[in-house]
Amino acid sequence: MTSPPTARLGALRPALQWLAGWWQIIHLGAVLGVLALSASGRRQAWGSGLAGQVYRASGPMLAGFTIATAVLSLVVIRIVIVTAQSYGLSQYALEMVVRVLVLELIPLAAALFGAVNATLPMADELATLRRRGQFDALRQRGLDPLATLVLPRLLAGLFAVLLLAALSCAVTLVLAYLSAHGFSLGGFERYTRTVGRVFSPPVTLIFCAKVFLLGSAVAWIPLVTVLQNPAGRRSRASAELQGLVRLFVVVLAIEAAALVGNYY
C-alpha cells in the first residue's frame, strides 16, 4: 500500500472530513425523512411524545415572537411608508413592505428564532440523552431512537418555524394595512390587489418552498450534527457550534436561492 505524500494528505484531510460530515448529515436527514414519511415512523413518533415536543417547541415562544415581529414590522413599515411618501412614491410603499417583510425578513427571522429557541436546545437535550446512553437502551428494548427521540423533535422544530412564520406574516399583513389605511375597510380592495400582485404564482411557490426548506434546515441540521459525533466525546460544544455554522450556511444558501428565484 502506497501512502500519499504527507503534504498532499494534510491538504486533503480537512476537505475529506468536511465532505464526510456533510454526507453523514445528508444521509441521516434522508433516513429521518423516510421515517417521517413512513406510517410506522410517524406512529412511533406520535407515541413517543410528538405532541409534547410540538407544544414545547412553539407554544412558549409563540406570543413573544409574535409581539417582537409585530414591533419590528411596525418600525419597518413606518420607515418605508414615510420614506416613500417623502419621495412621492407612496403607491409603491405597501408593495415594498409586503416584499421586504413578508417575503424576506419574517421567514428568516422565524427560522433563526426557531433555531435558537427550539431546535438548538433540543439538540442539546438529544446530546445529553445520547451521552446518558438512552439511545443504546432504546435499541436494547427494540425501539429505534431515530424514530422515538429524534423524529418528534425534528417535526416539532419544522412545525415551530412554519407556525411562527405563518402567524407573523399574517400579523404583519394586518399591521401594514392598518398603517397605510387606518381602521377602515375602505382600502381593502386596493390592498388585496397589491398583495395579489406581489404574490404571483412563482413568487408564492418560491415563498412556500423557502419557508419549508428553512424550517427543515433549522430542524434537521442541529439535531443531526449532534448525532453525528461519537457519544461521550469531549467535542460536544464544538459539535453544537459546528451545527450552528452549518445551519447558517444552509439558511444563507436557501435565502440566496430564493432571492435568485424571485428577482432574476
**Interacting residues toward other proteins by CB under 8 A:** 47-52, 54-56, 58-59, 62, 89, 92, 125, 129, 131-134, 137-138, 143, 148-149, 159, 162-163, 166-167, 169-170, 190, 192-193, 195-197, 199-201, 204, 232
Compute the least distance from the CB of residue 54 to other proteins, in Å: 5
* CB nearer other proteins, residue 138 or residue 154: 138
Compute the least distance from the CB of residue 116 to other proteins, in Å: 19
* CB nearer other proteins, residue 85 or residue 200: 200
Q: How far apart are CA 163 and CA 179, in angstroms?
A: 24
Compute the least distance from the CB of residue 163 to other proteins, in Å: 5
Compute the least distance from the CB of residue 132 to other proteins, in Å: 4
Q: What is the CA radius of gyration of the chain?
A: 22
Residue 113: closest CA among 218, 252, 29 = 218
Q: How many CA atoms lie within 13 A of 89 on its CB side?
A: 9
**Do the Cβ atoms of 123 and 218 come closer than 8 Å?**
no
* CB nearer other proteins, residue 192 or residue 238: 192
* CB nearer other proteins, residue 27 or residue 193: 193
Residue-by-residue DSSP string for 100-164: IIIIIIHHHHHHHHHIIIIIHHHHHHHHHHHHTTHHHHHHHTT--HIIIIIHHHHHHHHHHHHHH
Compute the least distance from the CB of residue 121 to other proteins, in Å: 11
* CB nearer other proteins, residue 16 or residue 89: 89
C-alpha distances in angstroms, 45 versus 41, 52, 246? 6, 11, 26
